Amino acid sequence: MRHLLATRNLSYDNAMSILDTAQEMATVADRSIKKLPTLRGQTVVNLFFEDSTRTRTSFEAAAKRLSADVLNFALKTSSVSKGESLKDTVQTLEAIGGDAIVMRHWASGAAEQLANFGWSSSAVINAGDGTHEHPTQALLDAFTLRTRLHGDQATAKDLDGVHVVIVGDILHSRVARSNVWLLHTLGAKVTLSGPPTLMPVGAQTWPVDINYDLNELLAQRPDAVMMLRVQAERMSGDFFPSAAEYIRGWGLTNDRYKTIADTKTLIMHPGPMNRGLEISAAAADSPQNTALEQVSNGVSIRMAVLYLLLAGQPGQ
């Protein structure tokens, strides 16, 4: 495994290797000194062409806990604002000494282009490319699910038989796509729900069920329901009549939350949450909500990915 670009082509063995390695990395957070010397002398470049809080800081924390040096690229103050190409930017950063490049880009396929066009010899990690994929988010979601379901016995466990419902703006969500492929690889059943106008063309060919009735899905008591943010910044038109209409059909309202409040159904969200739109305050603040655990687990997953790409020997 030279790069981590997508979950669609991530093998079962590599996915399990990342999850199990993250299980070990999670113990670092409990130490008085939260550091390992594993990547001392190596440099991780955070190359973010889109705004990010959780992902960028999570990768930075992960790299520093492994004792790597970190270079944070700021788009607004870089030569990109003067017209510099992606190729020249990457080669400049690699000349400074980058060993791994963590890249978020607005264009789908940008990370794959960087990894496969011979522009760089660094390991490339896709931190989100357009509406295509966000593999480490899917991995941390799977890790969170596995930990909640199996606790201290989670190591070597996959998600066979687990039912996950993904709700909302599937069309514009790289998180949804990465989760679909990874959850399928790990044995889970995935159901998509949301406005028909926000369901991608061809979604019926994915390894998922599609059900537009959220009430019916919640009545099935799934193991987890993952609420997605409506990505208005990626929309060039109106995809539903109004916010009220969206909430009525696909929001996890107080009334809908009450139907699963006494169950074991987990409520997941990749963040940032829009309280009052896709999720109510009661659902967001409930013990079933794993949003903060997902953020915390993201550091462990990204530590595992950096370790396996730069220092470990995962299977191909």
Residues annotated within a binding site? 54-55, 82, 104, 134, 137, 174, 229, 271-272
What token pair was written down for 85? 């190409």
Whether the upstream peptide bond of residue 272 has omega within 30° of 0, thus cis, is yes
State how far Cα 247 lies from the chain centre.
Answer: 24
The DSSP letter of residue 74 is E
Residue type, 130: G
Q: Which amino acid is at 234?
A: R
Task: At 80, list the tokens.
Answer: 């990109």
Annotated binding site for L-aspartate: 82, 174, 229
Residues tagged in the binding site annotation for carbamoyl phosphate: 54-55, 104, 134, 137, 271-272
Long-range contacts of 275-280 (CB under 8 A, 24+ apart): 276/247, 277/230, 277/243, 277/246, 277/247, 277/251, 278/167, 278/168, 278/227, 278/228, 278/229, 278/230, 278/246, 278/250, 278/251, 278/252, 279/227, 279/251, 279/252, 280/251, 280/252, 280/253, 280/254
The rounded distance, in Å, linking the Cα atoms of 56 and 50 is 10
Three-state SS for 265?
coil
Distance CA 44, CA 260 (A): 42
